[in-house]
Amino acid sequence: MKIGRFSYKNEVFTGIIEGNKVGSIGNIPIEKLISINIIEDAKNLINRWFLIDELEYEVLLTPGKIICLGLNYKSHAAEGGWQIPQEPVYFEKSSCCIIPHKAKICIPENTGRFDPEVELAVIIGKKCKRVRSQDAEMFIAGYTIGNDVTARSMQKMDQSRKYPWFRSKSMDTFFPAGPWMVTKDEIGVCESLNIQLRINGEVKQSSNTGNMIFTIPEIIEAITRYLTLYPGDIISTGTPEGISPIKDGDIVECEIEKIGVLSNTVIYDG
C-alpha cells in the first residue's frame, strides 16, 4: 500500500494511492495511523476519490527523530577518502527540515557548495529499544525516499574545527522525503533495490541498496542499543557514490525501485 499526505483547495488529508487516483481517509496523520496500528485497515476509511494530478503534496510525516547513516556504502566512503566503519555511523537531522515532493530546496546564496544525497528511508512502526537484528522487521512500518541535502563547505569547515555536523545537515528544507510511504508488505525485500539521483536529468548517483555496508536490521539494532525509536521516526540509510553539487534552478530527482520518484527544485534563499 502507498500512503501519502495531500491537499485539495487547502484541505489537507491522508490518502491511499492506487494508480493515478488517491482515496482520502481524512486528516489523520500517517504517524497516528502507524501508532494505533490501523494501516492495514486504512482502505476501509476512504470517503472520497481524487485524481493525483489535481492534488498538492504535503509533508509526509512529522517525525520525532530523523536519524541518518553516514558512510554506509563502500563506494561513498572511498570517494571521500574515509575508512570503512566497523559499526554504523549515525547522526541526527532536525525534524523541521523535512519537506514534501515538489517543494523547493532553499540554499543560502554565496555560502559554498551544497550536495543532495539520495537515500532509502525507513519509517518506524512501533516503539522499540534494544532490538535484535533478527527481530527488526516487526518494528518497520514502511519505506520512503529521503534526500539528505548537505551544506558541504560548511560541513568540511565544521569538521576541521571538530564541530558537530548538525547545522550543515539541518537547514530548513534539507530533508525532502516522499513522495509517499510504501508499506513493508508491498515493497518486500528492500536489500536489493536500485537507487538513483539525477540533476537536471543527468544521472549522478546510481547503485543498489544491496551495496550497503550495514543492513537495515543491523542499523536498527545499533541505534536502539542507545536510543528508543517511536512510530513515525525515520532512519535514512546512507547514500552511494557520485555526490555532486546543486545550484539555483536545478531539478533534483531521487528514484528508488518499488517506491517512486522524489522531485524537488533548488532555489537560492537570501
- Domain residue ranges of the chain, discontinuous segments joined by +: 2-57, 66-269
Q: Is 203 helix (H, G, I), strand (E, B) or coil?
A: strand
Query: Which CATH architecture group holds 66-269?
Result: Alpha-Beta Complex (3.90)
* 210 φ, ψ (degrees, to nearest 5): -65, -15
Model pTM? 0.96
- Over the chain (270 residues), the average pLDDT of each successive run of 10 is 97 97 96 85 92 98 96 85 90 96 94 96 97 96 98 91 92 98 89 97 97 97 98 97 97 98 95
The 10s digit of each residue's pLDDT in 24-61 is 999 999 999 998 877 778 889 999 999 999 999 999 99
Cell of 145: 525516499
